[in-house]
Structure 1
């Protein structure tokens, strides 16, 4: 009886192993067996280092020549959505990278283009008025848009206003596109660095103690900045070298939608 049980267990294990191997061999290119481990962003990191400069401007012409490599990374993104076993920071890093990489792909799909806003007026998809609402990719088999990532996932689930320093919609008034991928184990340091860069760039936030001309982000997402008892002033003072007070006159800069191109 014992011999029979052991033999049966061995046969079962061999069968499971055979089925797993067969599934792996028969899987179409670009698919993956779902893993509980966070994905490797190194291929995307390499592209960013090569085609994005220190100001966050993109060499879209050069990147177009390696579009296949970007698509391989996006296939990995598409087939490996975060699971509950990932840390919160690994999940956020995944979604931020996904947003930025799919935005780059959207630009390449329509390149040359002067502004991402021009795309929405050209593609003419019924009931879709902006490129951010277009469901042009899938994650975990579900059709998604850039809006789904930003508003339906990141803003909805993570309560982290600093994502606004990291998400880049391919416009010059956006925060700089970081020339490295976001990684869960250094995400907080990366977001803080983005905040420092964004708040101290006079083209994006012109700040004096008496008058502050802030990015439209502080107007568009004012509810996010006020979460957890915070205020716009708190967030500005957290990163800006020039501090403001409740008496500071605040206005908002016009948004420059020109393409963030080198």
Structure 2
């Protein structure tokens, strides 16, 4: 009779019979047919309690029995070791019972190595994307510059030719290629230039998409439409002007750089704004707007000004002491003056031709 530890099991009995009152979950059928155990003796298939050794105990048992501590081959994994106790108290060690490869768990070190490799691959991919974005985004806006030089003139914008040539579509990538990560690397002046160009370009695109119109106000809610792609999202022209440019940069002269496709607006320049010349460009735009008698002029001791200065006069107070002081400085006026505002001209800044 062979014992399973605490209770004997008849050798002649069925090897797979469930015995009453026993927890069969603690048993495993170990087949020893034609297989040699570490003791050098073979046994028939019997049902025995299973005790799994620790890794350290397993290696000790292997060394004592003259067995290799690890398996050779591609898996190189320690085999499972079980004890089968007989009635005589002898221990048989059978070490060739192994877990299928798909169910084995990786060691902690291999998991950590895999995670490091994945992290390195992700970092490399991120670097490649950033380099590609840097190459794609050009703060000189060469394609946008060509559009402005060809379709913008002193009379306004040649929208008919712009629409006919479908010239705006290829230019979009100069703005959409700028990712948030790349934007964070730009200097303050480059950021302001980017948003000024972004606003003016998508104003052109809005008009081109609804042309022919006589005024931008014929378009339903033109400044509230989310037509401006920005860092994977879509925002409105109002958001670009009020939430970004006015709120983040506190640069009142930007009001002379933004064009709303109307005759009452500051004229659209025939070149893009760029960071390394932004201050000079804004000063030039402000002087051109304030000295344009169709939009601003002096009548005696009265300044007849555009309503832009009335709507956004508060933006000039902190830096210049008010819009009146700034206008007087640009125009070279001293002494007290009165102020009167012109009606705003919302007619489209459409030019018959810019040849």
**What interval of TM-score do these two structures reach, taking the shorter chain for normalisation?**
0.7 to 0.9
2:157 to 58, 61, 72: 58
Question: Is the CA contact 2:314–2:322 (under 8 Å) kept in the aligned structure 1?
Answer: no
Alignment of 1:70-81 (within 5 A): 70-81=168-179
Higher strand share: 2
> How many Å separate the matches in 1 of 2:168 and 2:278?
22
Cα offset, 1:20, TM superposition: 4.8
1:205 aligns with 2:296: yes
Question: Is the CA contact 1:165–1:194 (under 8 Å) kept in the aligned structure 2?
Answer: yes
Deviations 1:196-217 (A, max 9, x none): 1001011100214511110101
1:177 aligns with 2:275: no
Question: Is the CA contact 2:228–2:237 (under 8 Å) kept in the aligned structure 1?
Answer: no
Assess, with a 3 A threshold, how the Cα gap between structure 1 residues 231 and 131 changes in structure 2: closer, same or farther.
same
> How many Å separate the matches in 1 of 2:277 and 2:266?
18
Indicate the residue corresponding to 1:44 in structure 2. 144
The structure with the larger Rg is 2
Indicate the residue corresponding to 1:106 in structure 2. 206
TM-score normalised by structure 1 residue count: 0.80
Deviations 1:206-252 (A, max 9, x none): 214511110101110011011235211221023225x254x311011
SS for the counterpart of 1:177 is coil
Cα offset, 1:40, TM superposition: 3.9
Alignment of 1:13-24 (within 5 A): 20=125
Number of matched pairs: 228
Alignment of 1:67-146 (within 5 A): 67=166, 69-81=167-179, 83-120=183-220, 130-146=221-237
Cα offset, 1:257, TM superposition: 0.2
SS for the counterpart of 2:304 is strand
Q: Which has the higher contact order (CA 8 A, sep 6+)?
A: 1
Cα offset, 1:41, TM superposition: 0.5
SS for the counterpart of 1:223 is helix
SS for the counterpart of 2:234 is strand
TM-score normalised by structure 2 residue count: 0.60
Higher helix share: 1
2:312 to 217, 221, 238: 221
Question: Is the CA contact 2:304–2:341 (under 8 Å) kept in the aligned structure 1?
Answer: yes
Indicate the residue corresponding to 1:251 in structure 2. 340
Deviations 1:153-172 (A, max 9, x none): 00011010000001000000
Moved over 3 A (4+): 36-40
> How many Å separate the matches in 1 of 2:195 and 2:189?
10
Cα offset, 1:35, TM superposition: 2.8
> How many Å separate the matches in 1 of 2:201 and 2:157?
12
Deviations 1:89-117 (A, max 9, x none): 11111000000000000000100000000
Gaps of 5+ in 2: 1-112
RMSD: 2.5
Deviations 1:113-166 (A, max 9, x none): 00000001xxxxxxxxx2101112321111100001100100011010000001
> How many Å separate the matches in 2 of 1:154 and 1:104?
19
